[in-house]
Amino acid sequence: MDFLTIIGFVGAFGLIIMAMGDPTPFIDIPSIQIVILGTFAAVVARSSVPELIGTMSAVMKTVKYKIDKPEDLIEELVNLGTIARKDGMIALEGQDINNPFMAKGIRMLVDGMEGATIKSSLEREMGMIKKRNAESINVIGSVQEIAPAMGMVGTLVGLVIMLGNMSDPKSIGPAMAIALLTTMYGAIIANVLCVPLAQKLVKHDAADGLNYELIIEGVMFIQSGGNPRMLTDLLLSFVNPKARGKLEAAAG
């Protein structure tokens, strides 16, 4: 679980609420309807159902998802390569592999598929995953773009109501509340919620993409029957310099 994401969101919204003091004056149902429901409707209009479902899943992953460390993947691939070279590919069938992408590659090795077929299948899978990630990032970007615009729409609605009822002092307050609070709601949704989420998804996509490339290289090396000790050297470029020393020492 990514506790930093939780801490960041709780801290950001907590500071805003603390600055409000009494949050009651900042709650206005018409403003909420204009911004939140209006933004949701606009995003739904420009997105497909699979994109929306994928985005909800991706947002949940920002909290629950744990990215595998490249050095851990390398150690696992070296271990699998050692087993395959010693006992044959069939010996990999009973191995417990947590990474689904790696598990798919090893399963194809066990099934005796050709190297070109394995590589093509894994690259296609990687491409589809990255495509879905890009769609989720695009949906979050749409919310980031539309929410402030709906805030401005609410501001204009509030001003029109206020100017149309200048003779009634009691209507000026609620109209001003709509005018100002919709702008605030739009800014909070865009900058406190969507910007961090989009950046987190981009970061996860980049890290996962690196791991997928690493796994493809490792699986293809195992398929070729190469010396597992050479696999560490082959994959060191995927690891940050601080972790390379540990891997080099383990490789002997």
How does pLDDT run along the chain (252 residues), one tens digit per residue?
577 888 888 898 889 888 888 888 888 888 899 999 999 999 999 999 999 999 998 888 887 777 888 888 998 999 999 999 888 889 998 888 999 999 999 999 999 899 899 999 999 999 999 999 999 999 999 999 999 999 999 888 888 888 887 777 777 777 777 788 899 999 999 999 999 999 999 999 999 999 999 999 999 999 988 888 888 888 887 887 776 666 666 555
Residue-level pLDDT at 227: 83
The residue to which tokens 């919709």 are assigned: 182
Report yes or no: 205 and 133 within 8 Å, Cβ to Cβ.
Answer: yes
List the structure tokens of 193: 């919620």
Rounded to two decimals, the pTM is 0.82
Residue 206 is predicted with a pLDDT of 93
Q: Is 81 exposed, middle or buried (0-12, 13-18, 19+ CB in 10 A)?
A: buried
- Predicted local confidence at residue 175, as pLDDT: 76
Cβ(78)–Cβ(219) below 8 Å: no
Q: H/E/C letters for each residue in 100-161?
A: HHHHHHHHHHHCCCCHHHHHHHHHHHHHHHHHHHHHHHHHHHHHHHHHHHHHHHHHHHHHHH
Q: What is the pLDDT of residue 176?
A: 79
Query: What per-residue confidence (pLDDT) applies to 24?
Result: 85
